[in-house]
C-alpha cells in the first residue's frame, strides 16, 4: 500500500488555516471525518493530541507526519494539508511545518503502519517533492505530485 493510493483530492487541504499545531491536527481529523463519516472525529483528535504529547511528529524541512493507530479501522486512512505560512510544531531544525501528512492505521494490524510511515518519510524527505508540493495549485495537483514522486521512488527501488 502506498500513500498515493490512500489520498484523493477530497482528502487534501491545500490551504490550511490553522495557526497552531493543535488546530492543524483538529482540522486534519475533521477533514478526514467529513470524507469518512463513520470515523469518530473527537476520538481521532484526542488520539493525535496524545501522540504529540509523547513526542512531536514534526520532522525536518517543514514536514510533519502525524500518525496514530486507531481501533476498529477497516483500512488505513491518510490526509494531506499544506500551510503556506507554516506552523511551529517543535521540529528539530526549528523550522515551521508547512506539510502535514496524516496517517491513521488499524490498531489491530500493528506492523502495517511501519511500512506506510517509512514510505511517507522517504517521500517527503525528497526536496524536489516538497518544493513541488508547496508550489502545487490545487488538491488534485498535490495528489498528482505525490503519485509521480512515489512512482519514481518505486522505479528506483526495483
Catalytic residues: 67
Cell of 5: 493510493
Residue 89 to residues 5, 14, 29, Cα–Cα distance (Å): 27, 18, 17
Q: Are strands 77-87 and 97-106 parallel, antiparallel or unpaired?
A: antiparallel
Secondary structure of residue 110 in the 3-state scheme: coil
Least Cα distance to 48 among 105, 97, 98 occurs for 105
How open is the CA angle 51-89-30, to the nearest 5 degrees?
Answer: 60
Run of H or E residues at 100: strand 97-106
Amino acid at each position: 500500500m502506498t500513500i498515493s493510493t490512500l489520498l484523493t483530492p477530497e482528502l487534501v487541504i491545500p490551504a490550511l488555516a490553522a495557526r497552531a499545531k493543535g488546530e492543524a491536527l483538529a482540522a486534519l481529523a475533521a477533514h478526514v471525518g467529513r470524507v469518512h463519516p463513520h470515523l469518530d472525529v473527537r476520538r481521532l483528535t484526542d488520539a493525535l493530541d496524545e501522540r504529540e504529547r509523547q513526542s512531536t511528529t514534526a520532522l525536518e524541512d517543514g514536514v510533519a507526519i502525524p500518525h496514530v493507530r486507531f481501533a476498529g479501522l477497516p483500512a488505513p486512512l491518510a490526509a494531506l494539508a499544506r500551510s503556506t505560512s507554516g506552523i511551529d510544531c517543535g521540529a528539530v531544525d526549528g523550522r515551521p511545518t508547512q506539510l502535514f501528512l496524516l496517517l491513521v492505521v488499524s490498531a489491530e494490524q500493528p506492523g502495517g503502519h511501519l511500512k506506510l510511515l517509512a514510505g511517507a518519510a522517504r517521500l517527503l524527505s525528497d526536496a524536489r517533492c516538497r518544493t513541488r508540493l508547496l508550489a502545487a495549485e490545487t488538491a488534485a495537483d498535490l495528489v498528482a505530485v505525490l503519485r509521480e514522486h512515489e512512482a519514481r521512488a518505486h522505479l528506483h527501488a526495483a
